[in-house]
Amino acid sequence: MSNVSVIEAAELLIKADNILIITHRRPDGDTTGCAGALCRALCQIGKNAYILENPDITKRYKPLIEPYKAPENFEPNFVVTTDIADINLFTPNAEKYIGKIDLVLDHHKSNSNFGKYNLVRANAGACGEVILDVIEHMGASLTTDIAECIYIALSTDTGCFKFSNTTPDTLRGAAKCLEAGVDGGEINRALFEVKTWARFQMERIIFDTMQFENDKKVAIAKLYRKDIDKTGADMDDLDSIASLTRQIEGVEVGITLTENKDLTVKASVRTTKEVDASAICAKCGGGGHIRAAGATFDKNIDIETAYKMIVNATMEVYRETNG
């Protein structure tokens, strides 16, 4: 296993063929946008490339990867992951490729470098920044369809460029996408403004049931499966909902606990500059970024127990931070 530069990663892809790209569990705009952009660019330069079907894909991001879904009997010679920090984020159908990943493209500082070659830029606001650089060094043209994928990757992982992980390179990358013909305003409206009825109901439930700890510096919302099912909310409706808890004045740590269909509980943590979200989630077996991180608890841990565990982890980080 070795770390590679953008130029070296591009050269590996130029030399390869029969390429398979893998996205992570519960895919977001970054992993799907990156996969969609990279696959389109590889096909543009004459490569045989596909994206592994993701069983968790939602209607919002399906168009990014569906046209390039790998045929059932496709046997890759080179396997790439986009925006995946660890093998525990592989979908069940991707697990057969564990130990066989040729190139990891990512931006998580917690990345376990599980590929033969690893390009991990921890200071990037989104993996889309990494993919854009690799595509340019491959010699592919930034067509409008590729640029749309990149723009979605950049905008979704930075909260429409509002989060503190937004970098100058993020904005430069977005500018390149706009120059390539992307309608940024329409994408932003579709992703960040328009709400389904189910999403509206879930937001109301969050604000009605939110609990507070540590002198109201910590806000926790619990999304029970019965409420999710009652509203008919899907993963698109729950996308970015974790940021709601941090919108209240004085809140430094916003935590959303969600009951998944498989009975596990997922914690999504969003923080201000006073607290490290990844440090909190690391204490619960997860990880991520300084301001946005997550963890999934074992099946035998219910949402009430998960509440106590994540609050305890948060208080430990507060104590460690403040000495």
**Cβ contacts of 170-178, under 8 Å, gap ≥ 24:** 170/124, 170/125, 170/126, 170/129, 173/128, 173/129, 173/132, 176/132, 176/142, 176/147, 176/150, 177/142, 177/147, 177/148, 177/150, 177/151, 178/151
For 110-142, the DSSP string reads T----SSEEEE-TT-SSHHHHHHHHHHHHT---
Closest by CA position to 314, among listed 258, 253, 267: 253
Write down the mean pLDDT value for the chain.
Answer: 94
Alpha helices in the chain, H assignment, sequence order: 6-15, 29-44, 62-65, 127-138, 144-157, 168-179, 184-188, 197-209, 225-231, 235-238, 277-282, 303-322
Q: 3-state DSSP call for residue 321?
A: helix
Fold of 197-322: Diaminopimelate Epimerase; Chain A, domain 1 (3.10.310)
Q: Is the CA virtual torsion 159, 162, 165, 168 positive or negative?
A: positive
Task: Report pLDDT for 323.
Answer: 64
**Are 213 and 311 contacting, i.e. CB atoms less than 8 angstroms apart?**
yes
**Are 101 and 119 contacting, i.e. CB atoms less than 8 angstroms apart?**
no
pTM of the model: 0.84
* Sheet of 287-288, strand order: 211-213, 218-223, 253-259, 265-271, 292-296, 287-288
Share above pLDDT 70 across residues of the chain, in percent, rounded to a whole number:
100
Split at pLDDT 50, 70, 90, the class of 5 is very high
- Domain map (residue ranges) of the chain: 2-192, 197-322
Backbone angles phi, psi at 293, to 5 degrees: -150, 175
**Are 285 and 314 contacting, i.e. CB atoms less than 8 angstroms apart?**
no
Is a pLDDT exceeding 90 seen at residue 305?
yes
Closest by CA position to 61, among listed 156, 133, 144, 141: 156
28-77 pLDDT tens trace: 999 999 999 999 999 999 999 999 999 999 999 999 999 999 998 899 99
Specify burial of residue 143 (Cβ count, 10 A radius: 0-12, 13-18, 19+). Answer: middle
d(CA 132, CA 149): 10
Split at pLDDT 50, 70, 90, the class of 228 is very high
Beta bridge partners of 253: 218, 271
Could you confirm whether domain 2-192 is CATH 3.90.1640.10? yes
d(CA 214, CA 18): 53
Split at pLDDT 50, 70, 90, the class of 220 is very high
Specify burial of residue 179 (Cβ count, 10 A radius: 0-12, 13-18, 19+). Answer: exposed
**Are 31 and 82 contacting, i.e. CB atoms less than 8 angstroms apart?**
yes
Report the amino acid identity of residue 290. I
Is a pLDDT exceeding 80 seen at residue 1?
no
Task: Report pLDDT for 246.
Answer: 87
Is a pLDDT exceeding 90 seen at residue 309?
yes
d(CA 309, CA 288): 18
Half-sphere exposure of residue 143: CA atoms within 13 angstroms, side-chain side? 13
Given this chain, do its domains 2-192 and 197-322 carry the same CATH topology?
no
